[in-house]
Amino acid sequence: MNLNTITTVKRPATANEVGEWEAGNAWLAGGTSLFSEPQPTTNTLIDLEQLGWPALQVSSDGLEIAATCRIMDIYRLKSSTEWAAGPLLRECCDALLASFKIWNAATVGGNLCLSLPAGAMISMVTALEGTLTLWARDSTPRMDSALDFVTGNHRNVLQAGELLRSIHLPATALAKRYALRRASLVKLGRSAALLIGTRGNDGDLLLTITASTPRPIQLAFGGIPTADELRRAIASAIPDDGYFDDVNGLPDYRRHLTYYFAEQIRVELAQSGSKA
Ligand SMILES: Cc1cc2nc3c(=O)[nH]c(=O)nc-3n(C[C@H](O)[C@H](O)[C@H](O)COP(=O)(O)OP(=O)(O)OC[C@H]3O[C@@H](n4cnc5c(N)ncnc54)[C@H](O)[C@@H]3O)c2cc1C
């Protein structure tokens, strides 16, 4: 849609060119959210495209994803054979309610910064133990764990004008086996619950709960827990009134899915390669 409050669009070549942050500024990435509804408090868009950050960089350390990387680039990435969790990247792209137009424009950073419970890029980088690099307006970088970035529905740790620069996924996390479960009320709807379990060679189990809660919840186990231990861990991390409530699912439904999928993931990852 046309945004009739916008009077200026800036296309800086470097983030430093932006200078002091003013009320009414907004970073523009793919624009799929920004252009989907009126932005009455925004008068200036600062387009990130000209910054020219390389979308994806693979190294022995893992995967570096620029905030401006398109979801389509993640989908098309030919992952290393050493990454048992490589297919998870594509499965998370599939978990977004999106037409090909959205996929081609939407960025990983935009998905994180929008901070919706159903943000599947949030699920992906949290489950894969990502670390985020954030740039303050005075150019001081700071690191944050993906798990701590989103603090609630449409809420995150970004300060005014702070820019999400990149996400690092460590090779150790990409090498883990994984299991994903997801449900939405309608076939191509936003996720009501999206759970991902990963398991390393040391037998640990990391369970990441997203979409059913306003922000990601992660449970770490030294081995495969019993079904009862798993249920108790979820209950102590998420109170009964801690489930998200919107048109994509009632809290009771999301709570049910969370326990149901968590148990399926527990059983699946306990199977081959288990030390439990
Ligand atoms: C039909 C449709 C379906 C959708 N389905 C889903 C869905 O299932 N799940 C979901 O989570 N979202 C969904 N969305 C919302 C949105 O399209 C996606 O979240 C998308 O990934 C946003 O990325 P973008 O690059 O287009 O962000 P933009 O629209 O450009 O920006 C989104 C917000 O993030 C800020 N921002 C962007 N990049 C940065 C950065 N690097 N640093 C700091 N701030 C930044 C912007 O200022 C803005 O506030 C959907 C949208 C549409 C129109």
Is 249 close to ligand 1, i.e. is its CB under 6 Å away?
A: no
243/213 Cα distance (integer angstroms): 5
pLDDT confidence of residue 101: 75
105/48 Cα distance (integer angstroms): 12
- Residue 152 pairs with which residues in a beta bridge? 155
The Cβ of residue 265 has, within 10 Å, a number of other Cβ atoms equal to 23
pLDDT confidence of residue 273: 55
Is 69 close to ligand 1, i.e. is its CB under 6 Å away?
A: no
Which protein residue has the closest C-alpha to ligand 1 atom 38? Answer: 110
124/65 Cα distance (integer angstroms): 12
28 CA to middle of ligand 1, Å? 9
Which two structure tokens, joined as six digits, stand for 1? 């849609």
112/147 Cα distance (integer angstroms): 11
The Cβ of residue 255 has, within 10 Å, a number of other Cβ atoms equal to 22
Backbone angles phi, psi at 179, to 5 degrees: -140, 135
Question: What's the chain's Rg over C-alpha atoms?
Answer: 19
Is 96 close to ligand 1, i.e. is its CB under 6 Å away?
A: yes
262/94 Cα distance (integer angstroms): 20
Q: Which amino acid makes up residue 94?
A: D
CB 113 within 8 A of CB 158: yes
Is 109 close to ligand 1, i.e. is its CB under 6 Å away?
A: yes
What would the pLDDT profile of 11-22 be if each residue is shown by its tens digit? 999 998 988 899
Is 3 close to ligand 1, i.e. is its CB under 6 Å away?
A: no
pLDDT confidence of residue 272: 67
Residue 209 exposed, middle or buried by CB count within 10 Å (0-12, 13-18, 19+): buried
Which protein residue has the closest C-alpha to ligand 1 atom 37? Answer: 110
268/240 Cα distance (integer angstroms): 26
pTM (predicted TM-score): 0.96
pLDDT confidence of residue 274: 43
Which protein residue has the closest C-alpha to ligand 1 atom 1? Answer: 98
pLDDT confidence of residue 248: 93
96/98 Cα distance (integer angstroms): 6
Report the residue among 27, 114, 125 best suited for mutation to probe ligand 1: largest number of ligand atoms under 8 A from its CB.
Answer: 114
Is 161 close to ligand 1, i.e. is its CB under 6 Å away?
A: no
Tens-digit pLDDT string for the chain (276 aa): 788 899 999 999 999 898 889 999 999 999 999 999 999 999 999 999 999 999 999 999 999 999 999 999 999 999 888 999 999 999 999 998 776 778 899 999 999 999 999 999 999 999 999 999 999 988 789 999 999 999 999 999 999 999 999 999 999 999 999 999 999 998 778 999 999 999 999 999 999 999 999 999 999 999 999 999 999 999 999 999 999 999 999 999 999 999 999 999 999 999 965 433
pLDDT confidence of residue 275: 39
pLDDT confidence of residue 100: 72
Question: What are the C-alpha distances in Å from 182 to residues 94, 166, 254, 265?
Answer: 10, 26, 11, 11
119 CA to middle of ligand 1, Å? 9
Which protein residue has the closest C-alpha to ligand 1 atom 36? Answer: 110
pLDDT confidence of residue 113: 98
Q: Coil, helix or strand for 235? A: helix
Report the residue among 27, 33, 246 best suited for mutation to probe ligand 1: largest number of ligand atoms under 8 A from its CB.
Answer: 33
168 CA to middle of ligand 1, Å? 19
Look at residues 249, 67, 48, 41 and name the one whose alpha carbon lies nearest to residue 144.
67
200 CA to middle of ligand 1, Å? 31
118/220 Cα distance (integer angstroms): 22
110 CA to middle of ligand 1, Å? 4
106 CA to middle of ligand 1, Å? 6
58/73 Cα distance (integer angstroms): 13
